[in-house]
Amino acid sequence: MSGFPGWSPGGVYHCRVKNGVEGTVRGGSRGRVWRELLPAFDRRVWLLLGAMLVFRFGQGLYYPFSTIYFHNVVGIPLSLIGVGLGTLAASSVVSGLVSGPLADRHGRKPLVLLALLGNATTFLAFAFVGGFWGYLAVCVLAGLAGASMFDAARNAMVADVTPEGVRARAYGLVRVGGNVGWALGPLFAGVLAASAGASGGAYRAMFAGASVLTLVVLCAMAVGLRESLPGAGTKGAVTSRAIPVSKLRAALADGPFLVLLGVGFLLYYVFTQDWQALPVYGKNFLGLTDAQVGFFLAGNGLAVVLLQLPISALLDGRSKVGALGAGAALFAASSATLLLADGFWGVLLAFAGFFTLGEMILEVAGASLAAELAPEERRGTYLALFGSCFGASYGLSPVVAGTLLDARLPTAIWIIQLVAAALAALGLLRLSALGRRRRRAGSTRAEAG
């Protein structure tokens, strides 16, 4: 723990004054609050924060308007665009299965750079797509060498360079950067599209701009980011004979971690489905205006920017299993509220309130728990597999929501979500029991030794 400058188990922050004598930093209440929220993280955490901001800004330039471009300009039917998005989600799951073991064998930095190169390539390639088959091919590449690979490598790096006592805050900080970028990207893209008359050239320019931004981040990471793989500086560390498949097999034989994967899939099912279904449900079934839909979506982003770090600080030093249980309860409260809501204020409470709090807990506590369960040599594998829960659920939840909305059965969406949250809670109880059993076994072995 002492290898992390500025951090101590008791939350006391130290510095060196000019005469070389170490002293405790004392200041006003505002300074203490900021030092509690933002301890002295490793420089790589801040680099990843900047990378996430620009990376998500580039994604924000592309994704919100991509469906409009490919349907209205290129002429691809909406059903086939859905096939492409589903294929992207499926290939991102495959990427998660491969990226983690590769990051554990070859290091985090090469995967970060490869993912950024893949994103830059696919953003530019999307600008030149002329039909469905080209679109589908680029979707496959975007899933394999894109956000899933990047998230797996950067989550592993954050876990490598932060102690467990401040890890949730580090994940929260990087996530805030991503959300700021994601909020600014669509805003900039909307202004650009409106000023250019939403022409095909304007959309292609946005895609090319996203590619250039990603290349800028790639260059910065290539120069400034140091490898964090434990033991990477020792002879033979990266050239280990352990093949990626063996790491994957070992992770999937870990009982508590398998339970966590099941819980993650169920919670991400709710998470991904609300983002897809709620705007359509609010507009077509509750009669909300476009402005009201935009308002509750913006409320989510604003809450994340303002509250993610304080919530992450509350999670540090506490049970991540219990935190995920609270997240499941908040998702259930959101779904129950949507069952009863008949207007804007109910949707706002459900989405910008309960749902957003649950989302912030899931995104930080889930990765932190996966890192806690992982042996050091398989940390990247565990985090990549947990990240794949998002892609797997994203491939299913919109299909279910679309089918039920087409059938005019929106209440079934929220009932299924309640069931998913309840099953996740049961899984967390099982995970807690397995954890206690593992700790007792470890204590028994220690006493016998």
Give me the mean pLDDT over the 369-387 stretch.
91
Residues, the chain? 449
Backbone dihedral angles phi then psi of residue 287, each to the nearest 5 degrees: 75, 25
Identical fold at 42-230 and 241-443? yes
Give me the mean pLDDT over the 142-167 stretch.
89
CA 350 – CA 79 distance, rounded (Å): 29
| Ranges 12-21, 71-80, 427-436, most confident | 427-436
pLDDT on residue 226:
92
pLDDT on residue 29:
60
DSSP of 139-207: HHHHHHTSHHHHHHHHHHHHHHHS-GGGHHHHHHHHHHHHHHHHHHHHHHHHHHHHHTTT-HHHHHHHH
DSSP of 85-140: HHHHHHHHHHHHHHHHHHHHHH-HHHHHHHHHHHHHHHHHHHHT--SHHHHHHHHH
Q: Name the pLDDT band for 275 (thresholds 50, 70, 90).
A: confident
- Could you report how far apart the first and last alpha carbons of the chain are, in Å? 25
Threshold 0.75, pTM exceeds: yes
Coil, helix or strand for 225? coil
* Lowest model confidence (mean pLDDT) among 11-25, 129-143, 270-284: 11-25
User: pLDDT tens-digit profile of 27-56?
Assistant: 456 656 566 666 678 899 999 999 999 888
CA 328 – CA 325 distance, rounded (Å): 5
User: pLDDT tens-digit profile of 103-134?
Assistant: 888 899 999 999 999 999 999 999 999 899 99
Q: Name the pLDDT band for 374 (thresholds 50, 70, 90).
A: very high
For 136, counting Cβ atoms within 10 Å of its Cβ (0-12 exposed, 13-18 middle, 19+ buried), the class is middle
Q: 79, 94, 105, 206: which is closest to 143 by C-alpha?
A: 94
Alpha helices in 225-351 (DSSP H): 244-252, 255-284, 290-315, 320-340, 344-348
Q: 405, 408, 418: which is closest to 331 by C-alpha?
A: 418
Strand partners, 24: 14
User: pLDDT tens-digit profile of 318-348?
Assistant: 899 999 999 999 999 999 999 999 899 999 9
Coil, helix or strand for 24? strand
DSSP assigned state of 15: E
Which amino acid would we find at residue 49? L
Query: Is 149:99 a contact under the CB 8 Å cutoff?
Result: yes
Query: Is 258:248 a contact under the CB 8 Å cutoff?
Result: no
Assigned CATH topology for domain 42-230: Growth Hormone; Chain: A; (1.20.1250)
Q: Which two tokens stand for residue 66?
A: 């991509």
Coil, helix or strand for 424? helix
Query: Is 377:105 a contact under the CB 8 Å cutoff?
Result: no
One of 3.40.50.1370, 3.40.190.10, 3.30.930.10, 1.20.1250.20 is the CATH number of 241-443, namely: 1.20.1250.20
Domain boundaries, the chain: 1-40, 42-230, 241-443
